[in-house]
Amino acid sequence: MAVPRSAPRSPSPQRPDELPPTAWAVLGLLSFPGERTGYELKKWADASLRFFYWSPAISQIYAELRRLEGLGYATSRRSGPEEPRTKRTYSITEAGRAALAGWAGGAEDVGPPVLKHPLLLRVWLGHLAEPDELRARVREHIARTRGELAQVREALARADGVEAWSHPQIALGWSARRLEAEIGLAEAMLDDLAGLTAPSSPTENTAPAAPSQPLEDSPTHG
């Protein structure tokens, strides 16, 4: 179990486990064969991690790498014989692999997925917007999503056939199907929005009651 070689450049004395998911994500990036720089990690995160778990800012990746190194979960070395000397290459340690396996294989609840969908926020406030404008935003979203779908399929093609990539492949496959569903959802919403402006049965404007406060059983996990 390789001990941390180079002096930990980050003094934060963090207890093992109890790391935020982002730290595990970065360590996970490191857990696949090969060693890589923070910069490479960022590109990789942009190309696949972000489709199911968001891509941290490059500065945060560097910070996480320092934390991971401080914990002995990763080691870094400055450049190879061929490489530019300014380059710092990270790899996972045995301790890191063990800790990551503990997190990935554990039964503790990692919490529900969190979705932040600014478009839906706008639709939700649609009574304040021009119907046409709103639908234009939805169509833009569909176009963007199609672009992302193409990217996922590329990433999928790149991973195809490589034995060690089977799980990332499943995650990417899930992402592709998810984006397909997202497109269908947006198209259905387009119809809903169209139905609002051209209503078949023009409902009488019944005095809108105050928003009677909702149910009592909703779990407070915000």
Partner DNA sequence: ATGGACATGTAATTTGTTACATGATTGC
Partner DNA sequence: GCAATCATGTAACAAATTACATGTCCAT
Binding site residues, DNA, CB under 7 A: 19-20, 22, 37-40, 43, 54, 56-60, 62-63, 65, 83-89, 216, 222
Instruction: Give the CA distances from residue 64 to residues 14, 23, 82, 93, in Å, rounded to whole numbers and listed in that order.
Output: 12, 6, 26, 15
| Spatial distance between the Cα atoms of 49 and 73, rounded to a whole number of angstroms | 20
Closer Cβ to DNA, 22 or 31, answer by number: 22
Structure tokens at 39: 């910069």
Minimum Å gap between C-beta 109 and DNA is: 13
The distance of closest approach from Cβ of residue 199 to DNA in the complex, given in angstroms and rounded to an integer, is 35
Least separation, in Å, of the C-beta of 119 and a copy of itself? 7
Choose the one of DNA, a copy of itself, none that binds residue 86, judging by a C-beta under 5 to 8 angstroms depending on kind.
DNA
Q: Which pair of structure tokens corresponds to residue 219?
A: 């779990």
Q: Which is nearer to DNA, 4 or 131 (CB)?
A: 4
Q: How far is the CB of 79 from a copy of itself (least distance, A)?
A: 17
Phi/psi of residue 159, nearest 5 degrees = -85, -10
| 56 neighbors 110 (Cβ within 8 angstroms) | no
Between residues 2 and 164, which has the closer beta carbon with respect to a copy of itself?
164
